[in-house]
Amino acid sequence: MAAVTKQNVNAAMVFEFMLKVIDVMQSYFGKISEENIKNNFVLIYELLDEILDFGYPQNTDTGVLKTFITQQGIKSQTKEEQAQITSQVTGQIGWRREGIKYRRNELFLDVLEYVNLLMSPQGQVLSAHVAGKVVMKSYLSGMPECKFGINDKIVMEAKGKGMTTEDPARSGKPVVVIDDCQFHQCVKLSKFETEHSISFIPPDGEFELMRYRTTKDISLPFRVIPLVREVGRTKMEVKVVLKSNFKQSLLGQKIEVKIPTPLNTSGVQLICLKGKAKYKASENAIVWKIKRMAGLKETQLSAEIELLETDTKKKWTRPPISMNFEVPFAPSGFKVRYLKVFESKLNYSDHDVIKWVRYIGRSGLYETRC
Amino acid sequence: MTDSKYFTTTKKGEIFELKSELNNDKKEKKKEAVKKVIASMTVGKDVSALFPDVVNCMQTDNLELKKLVYLYLMNYAKSQPDMAIMAVNTFVKDCEDPNPLIRALAVRTMGCIRVDKITEYLCEPLRKCLKDEDPYVRKTAAVCVAKLYDINSSMVEDQGFLDQLKDLLSDSNPMVVANAVAALSEINESSSSGSPLVEMTPQTVNKLLTALNECTEWGQVFILDSLANYSPRDEREAQSTCERITPRLAHANAAVVLSAVKVLMKFMEMLPSDSEFVTSLTKKLAPPLVTLLSSEPEVQYVALRNINLIVQKRPDILKHEMKVFFVKYNDPIYVKLEKLDIMIRLASQANVAQVLSELKEYATEVDVDFVRKAVRAIGRCAIKVEQSAERCVSTLLDLIQTKVNYVVQEAIVVIKDIFRKYPNKYESIISTLCENLDTLDEPEARASMIWIIGEYAERIDNADELLESFLEGFADENSQVQLQLLTAIVKLFLKRPSDTQELVQQVLSLATQDSDNPDLRDRGFIYWRLLSTDPAAAKEVVLAEKPLISEETDLLEPTLLDELICHISSLASVYHKPPSAFVEGRAGIRKSLPASARAGSEGVESTESQAAPAVIPAQDSLIGDLLSMDIGGPTVAPVAAAPAAPFGSAAMDLLGGGLDTLLGETSSSPAPPSALAASSAALLGDIFGAPAASATYVAPKTTWLPAEKGKGLDISGSFVRRNGQLFMDLTFSNKAMQPMLGFAIQFNKNSFGITPASPLQVQSPLPPGVAADASLPLATTGPVQKMEPLTTLQVAVKNNVDVMYFACQIPMHALFVEDGQMDKRVFLATWKEIPAQNEVQYTITNVMHSADTVVSRMQQNNVFTIAKRNVEGQDMLYQSLKLTNGIWVLNELKIQPGNPNITLSLKSRTPNVAEGVFQAYDNILHG
């Protein structure tokens, strides 16, 4: 990414804007490639004209842009329609248009968490945090007001005090300590600051409602225990034990452990108890794939690595072992308590809305040093 | 169907073909043709020849086609200004189109056409659009004002667009407000006068804060950035503004978060640091900053550079967050280096163990730059946290054992610093260091190693052999290494004179005869002479105690840091340079943090910041003047040769430290008691002078040399007369990071021949953050040269950093001498003698004094009353005064009881002193 300027501009804004431009273009024509840019140059001119004026970013919300910048060009509109577009582009609720109707009012909530871990070879957690986000897909009629409730520690404790007898910690309900959270622009931030309640009028379709970060009490779904032995100058032995650490009834998926090997590796012999393992010379790593693995299980891989003699005095610095996985729960303990929908003008109530909640825990940067 | 086909036509006669297509009747064909034109334009072909044909397509109701034509116009109007006029009519018409999108498009495009003739036509439509009923048009028009200002600033001011823009600040639509704010900020920043054209009032701030909750993320950035330029009136306002901004910290956009942090950091300065609000705000700031580290690498980098500033300003905010700055294997190198920097800043006794084990890990990585920095970081940890020094040293030793060349070299450089910080503690490791002598090939590492050998020559049995081995290739060494080698061998000789005489002679002759480096030659000669004349003195000089190196290295200067805090999130904060250093042309206003609400009442000497604008001539002529004065006039100040003491720098000038104590006696001895007493008396005068009205009038000290111009030295001062002697009272504040010494002062020739009567005596060295007073007695026997204005005095102050020049104004009353009383008859005769055209009349306004108090007040300032008369209810006073250069001034005052204005008539043979005398009267009577 690069930008030019003559002034002392807001650098953070420049970068954020460029990332946003990429988002917008991707949502219009997919991958940004030379071919796609050629194919859509008129559209790109039109978009740039709209999202940037004299270097000031304007409205960059794809939902809104798509209402009046279409690939076919604008068909003649009635005056009311034009007025509606302009008020929407500049308006307070720029992310939703009026008059949306669905026969079935439905919403989907995906709690997506990325677990990041850095562990020492001795199994000490050096740093761990969960970067989570709540993605919402809403198919709701009208201009619904939503209220979203989570098991945030601050809220739960305040609640507990109100009911006097029920202390959330003692009652066994798990709470999550959220270090920091950020919301989609539709969330009323001032209300969150004062009442700690998350209320908003959602955009139509898919959007990222909130992002959060936690560092306390993270349940780490997997543990990697490495054992590396250098046998002489031309041989190395690596043993990696993988333990799954969650409820037995749940299944972890798409598990992949990447064990780096020295640059001068000439051959690798592998034995693994579960899944498939392969030495990939192009990546300088052994890639060990396991399709599924239940909770509270253990498996291992051992490898003998043959090395070429080299004259470089430089020692091989061992990069960390990284891994990927997907588990069907939120490692931070994040729980959706409720999502209430209020639409006063249309006659459907909270009960009529069909709601779906799904939890997915994925690996972020999940590394164990060896 | 895709657009890529428009790029493919490359055959000859293309332009001609396009021309006919553009004039085709069918709309579809026309549109196709315009797209082809734009495609050619995009790839850089010159299609300006088609200008009239494209402009012909402008009148269309197809929005897409219109946009393309406008695009073409923006690109080529400048090259075809005459034909661009053809388009004006359509623009004006489009500005009244029923479709708001077209109205906005027209205004937006017109602003982008930088042709003078077109801008004239822009004014009317723009004025209308600023009041358009549709917010989309208004927000576009707001930006257009900024565009117009860039083309023709005076037109914007003349046409009253600024006021219209200001009105938009209270628009009902948040996006209009945001764009208006953005436009105003840009206009303010680029205004040629340097002062903001539009001032923010509490009311507008309130409106902006309301709009903040409702506008787009970018709008929020504009608003927050402009709020950062506002200074709240008091603590309460600052606090309530902070409260309303805090929710922005939870925004998903990093730019919004950083801009909010900027405003909060700035306003926090105004609040008492021990208040509960500041404590809670400090807690709230940490999480969002940490979250920024999980964004894209580019944004992360911007965040890290800013965190680097924030950590220096308020270390408390992130002191518990060390772990998040641990480097990840996949981080881009620029992120890694920055994280490392912040880790060191955050290192403390509590977390040093963790930091060290991380740093050790990093030191085995692949990237050379990163590894070097990690090793250096270990050394900095040792110097910063004393308790960790031992562990750091053992870690460094471990690293040396790895024998990785650049690790070893880097480790040796930092170990030298550790030796300097903790002398006589870790010398046991020297033998290990010596083992790696052969592998060192970088000058800095070699120089460090040589320094260590020289410093500890008595403990290293074969020091002479080691040094001799270096000496073989002396001529090929880097000058840094040569200097070190010279000093080390001299040290060795002083410690073990018996068997190293040959070696020292060899190095001295190499340095003095075979080298063409003046530094090396000079140092060689000094050593030589010292050794040959007085070996005992040589010992004292060369083996003198060295000052300890400071703990924190590479911190930013406080004044610069404060300025950068005001620029958080901008490019300046990324470069760690003030905007003036990289933005061309516009000088702009330098930003500074608001003063703390309490600081004012605590400080005794109030350095008034609203200094009178001093007339300073161009630097070069000033220097020239000062130089010529050097030859002509007597040089009073003994210029102590005090070389810069290199704190923490790698090349240690050992000589410097020694010479300093030898030669710099005048500069380093504390100021004699008389000067101290005098300055404290001046202070008392400052405090009591004004209210009691019984002492001589003393103008408050004004800042003559601000710290940013004085390389960290801030000088404020005033002139005063005590016991018939003229003094210059000065306050020197050291706002730099290092102690200052070797102060001296000189004046340029001036109207009154003022010159220092004795050398300047300031506390020296002046430690960082300390202010010292000095009182400099002045004589009027110096060379005279008429200045403009008359009372200007050009001063040069020198210290170990640099020579600084500034100009100040001598208040005329300080020049009134004690024997200024004229005999009555002489007065009368002189008054008549002086021609009437020499009489100047002034009015002193707003003074409520009776004739008697005027008499007594003026008397204290050496203005003597000759006669007093009462004419028709008016008091007439006749007064005389004499200036140091013997010029007499005769005055007549008319005082009417009940009238706050006094009329002053002056007569003098040299009428150009009149203005100064009037100023003196005005000051004394108001003082």
Predicted confidence band of residue A257 (pLDDT cuts 50, 70, 90): very high
Distances (CA, A) of A343 to A53, A64, A102, A152, A303: 36, 22, 13, 26, 61
The answer to whether the CB atoms of B404 and A90 lie below 8 A apart is no
pLDDT, mean of residues B271-290:
88
Give the C-alpha separation, B40 to A38, whole Å. Answer: 12
pLDDT at B643: 39
d(CA B859, CA B881): 10
Would you say residue B903 has pLDDT above 60? yes
Report ipTM (2 d.p.).
Answer: 0.72
What's residue B805's pLDDT?
85
pLDDT digits (tens, 9 = 90+) for A191-206: 887 788 889 989 888 8
Pairwise pLDDT comparison (B378 vs B910), residue with the higher score: B378
Substitution target in A6, A7, A39, A68 with the highest count of B β-carbons within 10 Å is A7
CA distance B41 to chain A (A): 12
CA-angle at A76, arms to A74 and A78, nearest 5°: 125
Exposed / middle / buried, residue A77 (Cβ in 10 Å: 0-12, 13-18, 19+)? middle
CB contact under 8 A, B222 and A118: no
Select the residue of B100, B298, B403 nearest A15 (Cβ to Cβ): B298
Report in angstroms the alpha-carbon separations of A356 from A176, A340, B85. 21, 13, 61
DSSP alpha helix (H) spans, chain A: 11-29, 34-39, 41-51, 62-68, 79-90, 153-162, 189-195
pLDDT score recorded for residue A90: 66
So what's the pLDDT on residue A191?
82
A276 a known binding residue? Answer: yes
pLDDT value at residue B601: 41
pLDDT(B663) > 50 = no
3-state helix vs strand vs coil in chain A, percent to 5 = 20, 40, 40
Has residue B344 got a pLDDT over 80? Answer: yes
B541 touches chain A (CB under 8 A): no
- The pLDDT tens digits of the residues spanning A266-317 come to 889 999 889 999 999 888 899 999 999 999 999 999 999 998 887 665 566 7
Residue B34 pLDDT > 70, yes or no? Answer: yes
* Length of chain A as a residue count: 370
Q: For residue B676, is pLDDT > 50?
A: no
Q: Identify whether the C-beta of residue B324 lies closer than 8 Å to the C-beta of residue B293.
A: yes
Q: By CB neighbour count within 10 A (0-12 exposed, 13-18 middle, 19+ buried), where does B692 fall?
A: exposed
Question: Residues B424-432: contacts with CB within 8 Å, 24+ apart?
Answer: B425/B389, B426/B389, B426/B390, B426/B393, B427/B456, B427/B459, B429/B393, B429/B397, B430/B456, B430/B459, B430/B460, B431/B460, B432/B397, B432/B400
CA distance A17 to A5: 14
| pLDDT above 50 for B662 | no
CB contact under 8 A, B290 and A54: no
Q: What pLDDT, on the 0 to 100 scale, is given for residue B11?
A: 56
| pLDDT tops 60 at residue B685 | no
pLDDT at B879 over 70: yes
Indicate whether B900 pLDDT > 60: yes
Residue of A nearest to B219 (CA): A58
Chain B: residue whose CA lies nearest to A10: B570
State residue B622's pLDDT score: 39
- What would the mean pLDDT of A218-235 be, rounded to a whole number? 88
- Assign B550 a pLDDT band (cuts: 50, 70, 90): low
**What is the rounded average pLDDT of the residues B783-798?**
83
Check CB contact under 8 Å for A8 and B35: no
Confidence at A325, pLDDT banded by 50, 70, 90: very high
State which of A133-147, A334-348, B468-482 shows the largest mean pLDDT. Answer: A133-147
Average pLDDT over residues A57-80: 68
Strand partners, A280: A285
Instruction: Give me A99's structure tokens.
Output: 């008059």
Say whether residue B146 is in contact with chain A using an 8 A CB cutoff: yes
Count of A–B CB contacts within 8 Å?
228
Residue contact A313–B403, C-beta within 8 A? yes
Which pLDDT score is estimated for A312? 60
Strands (E), B723-802: 725-734, 744-747, 755-756, 771-779, 792-798
300-339 in chain B: CB under 8 A from chain A: 302-303, 323-324, 326, 328-330
Which of B447-461, B579-593, B664-678 is predicted with the least confidence, judged by mean pLDDT?
A: B664-678
Tokens of B512: 């003095």
Dihedral sign computed on CA atoms, order B286, B290, B296, B301: positive
Quote the minimal CA–CA distance from B574 to chain A in Å: 8
Checking if the pLDDT of B551 tops 80, the result is no
Task: Give percent above pLDDT 90 in chain B.
Answer: 9
Look at A54 and B146 and tell me if their CB atoms are within 8 Å: yes
- Comparison of pLDDT for B366 and B602, the residue scoring more: B366
Q: Which residues of B610-648 are buried (b: 16+ CB within 10 A; e: fewer)?
A: ebeebeebeeeebeebbeebeeebeebbeebebebbbeb
Q: How many CB atoms lie within 10 A of CB A308?
A: 12
Q: Measure in Å the smallest separation between the Cα of B819 and chain A Cα atoms.
A: 59
B677: DSSP letter: H
Taking Cα atoms as reference points, which of A7, A8, A9 lies closest to residue A17? A9
Residue B626 pLDDT > 70: no
Read off the tokens for B68: 């393309």
Q: A23 contacts in B (CB within 8 Å)?
A: none
> What pLDDT score was predicted for residue B254?
92
Contacting residues of A for B257, CB less than 8 Å apart: 182
Per-residue pLDDT averaged across B332-351, rounded?
Answer: 90
- Point out the residue among A74, A92, A118 whose CB comes nearest to the CB of B64: A74
Is B843 a residue whose pLDDT tops 90? no
Burial label for A344, CB within 10 Å (0-12, 13-18, 19+), is: exposed
Q: Is A66 annotated as a binding residue?
A: no
Nearest C-alpha of chain B: how many angstroms from A64? 12
- pLDDT tens-digit profile of B111-143? 888 887 778 888 888 898 999 888 889 999 999
Does residue B54 carry a pLDDT above 90?
Answer: no
Tell me what the mean pLDDT of segment A141-154 comes to: 87
Interface contact B67-A45, CB threshold 8 A: yes
CB contact under 8 A, A86 and B135: yes
Asked if B568 contacts B262 with a C-beta cutoff of 8 angstroms, the reply is: yes
Chain B contacts of A179, Cβ < 8 Å? 287, 290-291
Interface contact flag, A185 B100, Cβ < 8 Å: no
Nearest CA in chain B to A59: B216
Q: Is A289 annotated as a binding residue?
A: yes
Lowest mean pLDDT among A3-17, A47-61, B102-116, B897-911: B897-911
Give whichever of B221-230, B418-427, B575-584 has the largest mean pLDDT.
B221-230
| Cβ distance of A39 and B64 shorter than 8 Å | no
- Rounded to an integer, the average pLDDT of B487-492 is 90
- pLDDT, average across residues A113-120: 91
Q: Look at A38 and B7 and tell me if their CB atoms are within 8 Å.
A: yes
| Bridge partners for A267 per DSSP | A306
**What distance in Å separates the CA atoms of residue B685 and residue B78, rounded to the nearest whole number?**
66
Mean of per-residue pLDDT scores for chain B:
80
Mean pLDDT of B307-312: 92
Q: Is A6 annotated as a binding residue?
A: no
How many other C-beta atoms are found inside a 10 Å radius of the C-beta of residue B545?
9
User: Are A45 and B221 inside 8 Å of each other by CB?
Assistant: no
Q: A103 CA to chain B: closest CA distance, Å? A: 31
Q: What is the mean pLDDT of residues B797-817?
A: 84
How high is the pLDDT of residue B877? 85
Distance from CA of B342 to the nearest CA of A (A): 17
Give B589's pLDDT tier (boundaries 50, 70, 90): low
**pLDDT reading at B767 higher than 90:** no
Q: Stretch B490-495: mean pLDDT, rounded?
A: 88
CA–CA min distance B121, chain A (Å): 20
In this prediction, residue B196 carries a pLDDT of: 62
- B62-111 pLDDT tens trace: 788 888 888 888 888 888 887 778 788 888 888 888 888 888 888 888 88
pLDDT in tens, A123-138: 888 888 899 999 999 9
Share of chain A above pLDDT 90, in %: 34
pLDDT higher than 60, residue A167: no
Q: Which of residues 754-813 of B touch A (CB under 8 A)?
A: none
